[in-house]
Amino acid sequence: PKRQIRARIFLPHLVASMEEVEQTYIMIKPDGVQRGLVGEIISRFERKGFKLTGLKLFQCPKELAEEHYKDLQSKPFFPKLIDYITSGPVVFCIFANLVNCIYFGKAWEGVGVVASARKLIGATNPLNAEPGTIRGDLAVQTGRNVVHGSDSPDNGKREIGLWFNEGELCAWAAALEPWLVE
Ligand code: ADP
């Protein structure tokens, strides 16, 4: 309704604490950076309507890559994966849904940004990724699949904690919000 939209336009400073909002950790892998796809990949999430709340360019140390992918430690491709991720700078971003304004004291929780980002990214093996997805459009092989996205909200929190320090995230009010979220 109009009243809600007006309230959220005029009260943009009332942003909920970032902890209340579902967020996803996106990493543009070294091949994505080397191939000049950083802008293209970030742009896809922005155009979808997600809000960028953190951004960094970083040469990933081995220990951090191993911690990030610790669930895959027993896989035969693990050493190759760590070499790949540490082979050049990566860009990490955090995206949140544009639904975190407090409206009359109620926190609008981000719903589904993690699952939605996974859909935009596409299947792990680019051969199986649908056209229109990032991997479907921009990658050919599992070992060079250009981008990572958290697979659950809990993993999102874990990965954000691993790759970002406190104070590096930005909670900000997006003026477009009422046009993206009803
Ligand atoms: P996703 O990145 O889609 O969540 P996984 O968590 O299963 O996929 O794997 C993490 C990453 O490990 C993949 O994105 C890919 O870079 C790499 N990987 C997975 N399976 C293989 C494989 N069979 N050979 C080489 N690399 C792989």
Mind listing the domains of the chain with CATH numbers? 2-175 (3.30.70.141)
Centre of ligand 1 from the C-alpha of residue 11, in Å: 43
Residue nearest ligand 1's atom 13 by CA: 124
Q: Tell me which residue of 58, 62, 57, 17 sits closest to 166, measured CA to CA.
A: 17
Q: Is 27 helix (H, G, I), strand (E, B) or coil?
A: strand
pLDDT (tens, 9 = 90+) of the chain, 182 residues, equals 444 444 444 444 444 444 557 889 999 999 999 999 999 999 999 999 888 999 999 999 999 999 999 999 999 999 999 999 999 999 999 998 765 443 433 333 345 889 899 999 999 999 999 999 999 999 999 999 999 999 998 999 999 999 999 889 888 888 887 787 77
Q: How many whole angstroms from 22 Cα to the centroid of ligand 1? A: 24
Assessment of whether the complete model's pTM goes beyond 0.90: no
User: What length does the chain have?
Assistant: 182
100 belongs to an annotated ligand binding site = no
Q: Which residue has the tokens 């971003």?
A: 93
Tell how far the Cα of 44 is from the centroid of ligand 1, in angstroms: 21
What ipTM, to 2 d.p.?
0.98
135 in contact with ligand 1, CB cutoff 6 A? no
Q: Which of 26, 134, 148, 174 is catalytic?
A: 148
CA separation for the pair 4, 103 (Å, rounded): 8
* Ligand 1 pocket member 81 (CB < 6 A): yes
Residue burial 90-106, b: 16+ Cβ < 10 Å; e: rest: bbbbbbbbbbbbbeeee
In short, whether 172's Cβ falls inside 6 Å of ligand 1 is no
Cβ of 87 closer than 6 Å to ligand 1, yes or no, is no
Q: Is 68 among the residues known to form the active site?
A: no
CA distance 34 to 167: 28
